[in-house]
Amino acid sequence: MDSLSSINGDFGFDGGTDRRFAFSRQASFQQPHTPIDIPAHGHYDHHHYWSPRDDKPSAASLQRSSLSSFVFSVFRSVRSGHRYMKRLFLMISLNVAYSTAELLTGLFTGRVGLVSDAVHLTFGCGLLTFSLFVMAASRKKADREYTYGYKRLEVLSAFTNALFLLFMSFSLAVEALHAFIQDESEHKHYLIVSAVTNLFVNLVGVWFFRNYARINLTYRNAEDMNNHSVFLHVVADSIRSAGLILASWLLSIGVQNAEVLCLGLVSVAVFMLVLPLFRATGGILLQMAPPSIPTTALNKCLRQISSREDVMEVSLARFWELLPGHVFGSLIVQVKKGTNDRPILEFVHGLFHDLGVQDLTVQTDDA
C-alpha cells in the first residue's frame, strides 16, 4: 500500500483531480484481482463519478426510492431544466393534442387511415417522452448503484429513436410496394389535411432543435447525441408528411404511381438521415474501439510497450467510449521479476494520454 500511495503521489493523484490513469500491482494470482481507480481523497472528480467517501453508508441511502418519488423528481427536473427540455415538453404536448384529436375523428367517422396515422403519432410521442425523461434522469449524479452516473441513458435514448426511424423507413418502403401492387390511383384527400397539420406541428419541433440541423454531427457529449436524435425524429416525420402532400398534388395533375414514387423517396431519405446516428450510438453501446482514435495508433502504442526490455508481454488491452468523446482503456503489462515498474507506468500513461485516452487502468504483474 505504501508503494501504491507513493506512485500515486508521483503521478499527481493526491488531489484527486486527475483520474486518467490508475494501476494495481499484483504479486501473484492468489491475491484478488483488483485494478483500482480511486482518488486519494474520496470525492467527485471532474467527471462526477461516484467515490466511496461521498456517500456514507446508511440504511436510508441503500434503499431504492419509490417509483412515484422518482417520477416527481423527473417532473421537477423538467420544470427547472434547460431550454431543450422545455421545448421538447411543449412539442410533445402539441403532438399529443393533435394525435388525440385525429384518433377521435377517425373513430367517430370510421376512417381507418386517420386512426392508423394517430397510432403512428402516439408511438412517436412515446419515444419523444422517453427522450424527455432521459434528459431529466441523466442530470442525476453517480451513486452506489450507477457508479458512472446516468449520462449513458442519453446514448440509449438516441439509439432507440434511431431504431424507430429505421423501422419507419422500412414500413414506408413496404407501403410503397403495396401501393404499387394494388395500383392505387386515388389518394385519400382527408389524409392531406392530417399531413398538413402534422407538418406544421413538426416544423415547430425542427425550429426548436435547429442547432442540430446536421446529418454527420460531431458529438461532444451524450446530450448532443440525444438532442440530435430528437431533431432527426421530427425531420423524418416532416419529410413523411411532405411526401404525402406531394403525392396528392402529383396525383391531382395526373402523374401515375405518384404515391409509390414519393413514399419510396421518403423511405430512402429517412434511412440515409438516421444511419450515421444508428452506427454511432450502436458503437458506443457495444463498446467498440473508439472511432476518434485510429486502430493503427493503438496497435503502435502496444508494440512500443512490448518492445521495452523490461516488459515481457502486454495482454487484455481494451479501449472503448463510455460516452461520446470520453475514452476508457485498460491493459495488463507483465514485467520482469524485480523490475521497477514506475518508468514503465510513466511511459504507458504518456503514450495513451497523448492519443486521447482520458481514463486508463494499468495492471502490472511479475512474469
At 31 the pLDDT is 36
Residues in the chain with pLDDT values less than 70: 1-81, 183-190, 367
Q: What is the pLDDT of residues 184-202, one digit of tens each?
A: 555 556 677 888 888 998 8
| Virtual torsion, Cα 211, 221, 276, 286, nearest 10 deg | -160
* Residue ranges of domains in the chain, CATH in brackets: 68-285 (1.20.1510.10), 295-366 (3.30.70.1350)
Q: What is the pLDDT of residues 85-134, one digit of tens each?
A: 888 998 999 989 988 988 888 888 888 778 888 888 888 888 999 999 89
- Cα 99–Cα 93–Cα 230 angle in degrees, nearest 5: 90
At 69 the pLDDT is 62
At 102 the pLDDT is 86
What letter represents residue 5's amino acid? S
Q: If you compute the radius of gyration of the chain from its CA atoms, what whole number of angstroms results? A: 27
At 11 the pLDDT is 39
Beta-strand ranges (E) seen in the chain are 21-26, 311-323, 326-335, 359-366
176 in helix, strand or coil? helix
Contacting residues for 69 by C-beta, under 8 A, at least 6 apart: none
